[in-house]
Amino acid sequence: MNHFSDKLIAWYELNKRDLPWRHTSNPYHIWVSEIMLQQTQAVTVVPYYNRFIATLKDIKALADTSEETLLKLWEGLGYYSRVRNMQQAAKVIINHHNGVFPNRYEDIIILKGIGEYTAGAILSIAFNQKISALDGNVSRVMSRFYAIEDDIALNKTKVKLNNLNQALVDKENPATYTQAIIELGATLCTKSKPDCENCPVNSGCMAFEKGLTNVIPFKSKLKAKKEKKFMTAIMINEDGNFLVSKVADNLLNGLYLLPQVEAESIQYAIESFESNGITVLTYDYLNPYKHIFTHLLWEMDVYVLKVKGIGIYQPVGDYQTIPIATAHKQIIIKEGYYGNI
Ligand code: SF4
């Protein structure tokens, strides 16, 4: 008898949030939800998930859809390589598994964008296999429950926590166990101020017993982010078109950006725009903006420019028709150049 999972599952059945991916064991749906949830909170993911599943109803639809559609469906979630990897993985499933999502760890772990956690989550939640799925939430619960003070950023600590979780996975109901422990970490055993009084497993929790919940999990400091300073332009030409550029780099590949130059002054940026075939007629300063990527910070001084010509840029009549990087979409929305979203 596994008291931990019994108490956890009983609590979950009474307290779980009603999320759309909890009404299905379709592995495609579970996969989509897990990839979206990697960097984003559940409540934010819900409309994206519903729209994605409604538009791309199965793995074949995902494999066949255009890049523009794919990026548009993902617009706002960020980390676009996730959805590109999903499409590549969908093509492998079509070509090597007859379009049926594989149910063996060794077949899933080699799909692009699927790591140990996601493989474990799909196998336990969609296929009800007794396998650990160790994400940040589960790491936190395990490290506190066993009062493990090792640095959770280290791989050897993850292996230890994964083994502890693996031993606790309910053998009759792995799918519910995995969802329940993730839910516990997301709602009660939170990073700051865990609600230990209402926790279903508090009677065996060593961090709670020893008063260590504010120091566990221990994580070494992240490296400082690299900073970049841009002059960023909402640029409108004489035809009333907005000018944008399509990106071809690892960070935002395939998305569109407002014209911008890495510079400390607008004069320098204007010279750069003009050397690329644009004539600047007027410019006005709007506001400063910031965007934080995982290891990078963009500081942007935003201007609105009236210009002649299009130079190296691409004209669009409406920002809503193209997938724009979130770093710039927030600017367009806040400055009132974007319609209803
Ligand atoms: S008792 Fe507190 S620290 Fe321990 S698992 Fe529950 S919420 Fe987390």
Q: How far is the CA of 29 from the centre of ligand 1 (A)?
A: 30
Task: Look up residue 272 and give its amino acid.
Answer: S
Alpha carbon distances (Å) from 176 to 3, 161, 183:
15, 19, 10
Alpha carbon distances (Å) from 29 to 26, 36, 212:
5, 11, 38
Q: Given ligand 1 and candidates 152, 183, 189, 218, which is best to mutate, with the most ligand atoms within 8 Å of its CB?
A: 189
Q: How far is the CA of 121 from the centre of ligand 1 (A)?
A: 22
In whole angstroms, give the CA distance from residue 165 to residue 160: 9
Secondary structure class of 22 (helix, strand, coil)? helix
Domain ranges of the chain: 3-210, 226-334
Q: How far is the CA of 78 from the centre of ligand 1 (A)?
A: 31
Q: How far is the CA of 135 from the centre of ligand 1 (A)?
A: 16
Q: How far is the CA of 210 from the centre of ligand 1 (A)?
A: 11
CB 88 within 8 Å of CB 106 = no
In whole angstroms, give the CA distance from residue 154 to residue 174: 26
Q: Given ligand 1 and candidates 143, 208, 210, 215, which is best to mutate, with the most ligand atoms within 8 Å of its CB?
A: 208
Q: What angle do CA 248, 249, 253 make, to 5 degrees?
A: 65
Name which residue sits closest to atom 1 of ligand 1, judged by CA: 202
Q: Which residue has the tokens 């083994």?
A: 163
Judge whether 3-210 and 226-334 match in fold.
no
Q: How far is the CA of 175 from the centre of ligand 1 (A)?
A: 21
In whole angstroms, give the CA distance from residue 112 to residue 96: 14
Q: With 0-12 CB in 10 A as exposed, 13-18 as middle and 19+ as buried, what is 184?
A: buried
Residue pLDDT, tens place only, 145-186: 999 999 988 889 999 999 999 999 989 999 999 999 999 999
Ligand 1 atom closest to the CA of 195, numbered from 1? 7
In whole angstroms, give the CA distance from residue 86 to residue 255: 17
296-308/260-262 β-pairing: unpaired
Name which residue sits closest to atom 8 of ligand 1, judged by CA: 189
How much is the pLDDT for 281?
Answer: 94
In whole angstroms, give the CA distance from residue 185 to residue 201: 12
Q: Given ligand 1 and candidates 181, 201, 215, which is best to mutate, with the most ligand atoms within 8 Å of its CB?
A: 201
Q: With 0-12 CB in 10 A as exposed, 13-18 as middle and 19+ as buried, what is 36?
A: buried
Structure-block tokens of residue 53: 């599943």
In whole angstroms, give the CA distance from residue 134 to residue 271: 51
Q: Which of 90, 84, 82, 76 is nearest to 33 (CA)?
A: 82
Pocket of ligand 1, beta carbon within 6 A: 141, 144-145, 188-189, 194, 196, 199, 201-202, 205, 207-208, 213
Whether pTM exceeds 0.75 = no
CB 185 within 8 Å of CB 14 = no
Ligand 1 atom closest to the CA of 200, numbered from 1? 6
Name which residue sits closest to atom 4 of ligand 1, judged by CA: 205
Structural domain 226-334, CATH architecture: Alpha-Beta Complex (3.90)
Residues of the chain with pLDDT under 70: 1-2, 221-224, 339-341
How much is the pLDDT for 252?
Answer: 86
Is the N-terminal amide bond of 27 cis, ω within 30° of 0?
no
First to last CA, the chain: 51
Q: Which residue has the tokens 């990106």?
A: 247
Question: So which residues are the catalytic ones?
Answer: 34
Structural domain 3-210, CATH architecture: Orthogonal Bundle (1.10)
What is the DSSP track for 38-58? TTS-HHHHHHHHHHHHHHS-S
Burial code of 220-237, b = ≥16 C-beta within 10 A, e = fewer?
eeeeeeeeeebbbbbbbb
How much is the pLDDT for 223?
Answer: 60
Q: Which of 299, 297, 295, 155 is nearest to 223 (CA)?
A: 295
Structure-block tokens of residue 308: 């002649």
